[in-house]
Amino acid sequence: MLFVTSRYLSPQFKKLLSPSNPLLKFSISTISTTTTNHVGPPPIRVDITESAGRGVFATRRIEAAELIHTAKPVISHPSLSKIDCVCYLCLKKLKFSNDSQTRVDRFCSEECHQEAKAYYELEKKADWSDYHKYCRNLGLKYPLLVKRLACMVIAGAASADCIHILQPAHIIPKIEVEYSMLRSAIEGLNITKENLNFLSEQWYADVLARVRINAFRIEMVAGSYDDLHALAAASVEAEAGVGNAVYILPSFYNHDCDPNVHIIWIDSVHARLKALRDIEEGEELRICYIDASLDHNARQDILQGGFGFKCSCPRCLSSD
């Protein structure tokens, strides 16, 4: 397993993405990479683009179907409808059998259990019924990720500012009601005042603003997909979303309606970023945030309404 280090980044990002940067203390260690037929660091750097803020660029030629890197999320949470059937941490489908060796409570494995134990125990003790009901009634998924991060911070498993490096949404909806529900659920746990200092309404708004722009809806595909045809078929057959997750490095990929990179989840929340075609050294790597089969106006509406930007990719500029 290899790690992204400041060696592969442009000077302005060396400091920002340095492992010594407290913002990345938790998350940088969760970014790993493995490549097919290539040994070495991930062939990418984060740099400034001409019109879309930061972006990810190829540091060498990348071949079609190459696994560029993998990534572990900073935060993950199952959909409320899947909460009892997928792993609390990695969102893998739980096997309901008598085999207690592989399923520890709401985990798929002892490994996931150990990794999330501290904040799982804390989250389990609180009464989330009002908060979940509120999210369910309004169809909200992002507050669940904020709730999970709050529990991680209290349990010492993440720093309160661990996703502050990500771009925030400009507009966020009213949060007073959900914030006060979260606070009262957590206050029922008898946490010391000192440990709750971070949990202000401003913190809630700041985290939610980043989650809104950067969370991925996790759709699993089963099996192993090594070629492009199988990959495309896998995407079409993907099960409905099992949850949502926030990553650091994948969040620096900009959108393109004709992308050169694809993000997939085979059987867990661990993401794989694969090249959809040959990519030249220096070329920007882009993924598609939406359904690329929509027409020009529908794509623009969704990107403007959901992500707050007017897409400037070559396909949109040619009005396709």
What are φ and ψ of residue 279, in 5° steps? -125, 130
Six token digits for residue 187: 């206050």
DSSP class of 276:
S
Is residue 308 at the binding interface for ligand SAM, with CB under 6 A as the rule? yes
How many Å apart are CA 306 and CA 181, to the nearest integer? 25
Q: How far is the CB of 106 from ligand SAM (least distance, A)?
A: 29
Span from 78-86, 127-135, 218-226, 251-259 in contact with ligand SAM (CB under 6 A): 251-259
- Comparing CB distances to ligand SAM, the nearer of 146 and 287 is 287
Sheet holding 243-246, edge to edge: 75-78, 243-246, 216-218
- Comparing CB distances to ligand SAM, the nearer of 212 and 274 is 212
Is residue 271 at the binding interface for ligand SAM, with CB under 6 A as the rule? no
CB atoms within 10 A of CB 42: 26
CB atoms within 10 A of CB 1: 6
Span from 92-100, 119-127, 250-258, 275-283 in contact with ligand SAM (CB under 6 A): 250-258
Is residue 72 at the binding interface for ligand SAM, with CB under 6 A as the rule? no
User: Cβ neighbours of residue 67 under 8 Å, at least 6 residues apart?
Assistant: 34, 35, 36, 272, 273, 274
Is residue 180 at the binding interface for ligand SAM, with CB under 6 A as the rule? no
Six token digits for residue 252: 């620096």
Is residue 314 at the binding interface for ligand SAM, with CB under 6 A as the rule? no
Bridge-based pairing of strands 75-78 and 271-275 is unpaired
- Comparing CB distances to ligand SAM, the nearer of 52 and 191 is 52
Q: How far is the CB of 89 from ligand SAM (least distance, A)?
A: 23
Residues 54, 106, 210, 262: which binds ligand SAM (CB under 6 A)?
54
Q: How far is the CB of 303 from ligand SAM (least distance, A)?
A: 7
User: Cβ neighbours of residue 47 under 8 Å, at least 6 residues apart?
Assistant: 9, 10, 12, 13, 54, 55, 57
How many Å apart are CA 180 and CA 86, to the nearest integer? 28
114 within 8 A of 87, measured Cβ to Cβ:
no
Residues 214, 244, 260, 268: which binds ligand SAM (CB under 6 A)?
214
Is residue 244 at the binding interface for ligand SAM, with CB under 6 A as the rule? no
Residue nearest to ligand SAM (CB): 53
86-145 residues in contact with ligand SAM (CB under 6 A) are: none
Six token digits for residue 159: 């720093």
- Comparing CB distances to ligand SAM, the nearer of 181 and 311 is 311
Q: How far is the CB of 302 from ligand SAM (least distance, A)?
A: 12
Residues 104, 153, 269, 313: which binds ligand SAM (CB under 6 A)?
313
What are φ and ψ of residue 173, in 5° steps? -70, 175
Span from 123-131, 231-239, 240-248, 254-262 in contact with ligand SAM (CB under 6 A): 254-262
User: Cβ neighbours of residue 20 under 8 Å, at least 6 residues apart?
Assistant: none
Is residue 312 at the binding interface for ligand SAM, with CB under 6 A as the rule? yes
Over the window 144 to 173, marking each residue x when it contacts ligand SAM by CB under 6 A and - when it does not, the resulting string is: -----------------------x------
In the three-class reduction of DSSP (H, G, I as helix; E, B as strand; rest coil), residue 281 is classed as: coil
Span from 147-155, 184-192, 221-229, 304-312 in contact with ligand SAM (CB under 6 A): 304-312
Number of Cα atoms under 13 Å in the Cβ half of residue 225:
25
Is residue 306 at the binding interface for ligand SAM, with CB under 6 A as the rule? no
Instruction: Give the residues lining the site for ligand SAM (CB under 6 A).
Output: 51-55, 167, 213-214, 251-252, 254-256, 307-309, 311-313
